[in-house]
Structure 1
Amino acid sequence: MYSPIPVLNELKDLYDSTRDFLADGFELYGYDDKERYFPRELDDPEFLSRLIPFAQANGTGSMYAIWRSSDETDVALLPVVVFGDEGGEHVIARDFRDFLPLLGHDAEITVDHDSAYYFREEDDDHSGSHEMFVEWLRERGLEPAEDPDAVIAAAQEIHAERFRAWITPFYAKVGWA
């Protein structure tokens, strides 16, 4: 079993069955492999215990993680965050089910200190396995996000302030705040 999230296990099976990208820049790696994702400076056990990295978010090394914002035992119900490879970290989905349609938009996420967003030109080609992924989403009652900014805004309205308050002391400890 890849993870305790059944739909993420199904996504991993789909991901492993194709040689093409399911979504632009998205690559699944080891579930909860903290050594791969976080720099050594951020080795505080309290910090690491609240984040579950699971995928690369774009071609430059940004990554997706689940934030243990509460003691919720169903990890799929926790918010999804993105950490930018050049800095910036943001809540992007209220839970894993909200996250999947963002991937269906089929655009790399851009992350900076002030925002995270998906941008796609009308004439951009889709990833090689995009249609297979869209079919997979629909089998689960989901559709690709037509307005990813709205999904991110909804998640940030609920979680952004708490996430910022939680992460700031860890960054301050290593001199990043």
Structure 2
Amino acid sequence: MNDAYSPVPELNLLKEFQDSLEGQFFAPGFELFKYDKGLDWFCGEAPDAYLDRLIPFAYATSSGSYYALWRCDDRTDLATLPVIFFGDEGDLCIEACNLRELFRLLAAEPDDPEDRARLASPRQRYHAWLQRNFGLTPPDGTGDVDGEVLAEYTRRFAVWVSEFASEDLLEDVLGALDLDVPTP
């Protein structure tokens, strides 16, 4: 029997690290949950073939926002899939081009001074873990994320949603992504 958290080695490493913190958090609101627990609320009556292309894996905030991998194509390395942020208040965006980029973004210092003090030790451990496992460091804010690639994923995501979404859902998605009607 395989006791791995997921079929994604990068997420398995992160799960081991998260478990080692014994309930402490290394990033505000981030917490892995049951891998691929489903997204019925987002897609409504979408066929399973569409629902299966979204793989939720973590809370992004303490208020219920979460991250999901989007199977935008048939690549086998799931860690290279784009990461979608689903906000609890209707926010929606392509957060990162892949898991390693998300891991770097999670390493950014929190804005809240209370969080900074509370998360100092787990955050320092996370930075060391990120360097040790992937040779990555926190972003320095100088173009660490490829905006053109994110914009292309955003456009492709909107086109994909337009294949199955109700008119209302598509309008909500396009509004959240700040896009017009997508074109294939």
Q: Which interval holds the TM-score relative to the shorter structure?
A: 0.7 to 0.9
Measure, in 2, the Cα distance between the counterparts of 1:13 and 1:130. 15
* Superposition map of 1:102-121 within 5 A: 102-107=105-110, 120=111
Of structures 1 and 2, the one with the larger relative CO (CA 8 A, separation 6+) is 1
Q: So what's the TM-score if we normalise by structure 1?
A: 0.81
Measure, in 1, the Cα distance between the counterparts of 2:32 and 2:138. 19
Letter in 1 for 2:98: D
Measure, in 1, the Cα distance between the counterparts of 2:140 and 2:113. 12
1:39 to 25, 38, 41: 41
Letter in 1 for 2:79: A
Q: 1:158 is matched with which residue? A: 152
Q: So what's the TM-score if we normalise by structure 2?
A: 0.78
Measure, in 1, the Cα distance between the counterparts of 2:98 and 2:43. 27
Gaps of 5+ in 2: 172-184
User: How many residue pairs get matched?
Assistant: 162
Shift of 1:92: 1.4
Q: Which has the larger radius of gyration?
A: 2
1:135 to 128, 136, 150: 128
Shift of 1:77: 1.1
Measure, in 2, the Cα distance between the counterparts of 1:24 and 1:62. 12
Q: Is the 8 A contact 2:84 2:96 kept in 1?
A: yes
Measure, in 1, the Cα distance between the counterparts of 2:42 and 2:101. 30
Does residue 1:82 correspond to 2:85, yes or no? yes
Q: Mean alpha-carbon deviation: is it higher for 146-155 or for 84-93?
A: 146-155
Q: 2:161 is matched with which residue? A: 167
Identical aligned pairs, as a percentage? 36
Shift of 1:156: 1.7
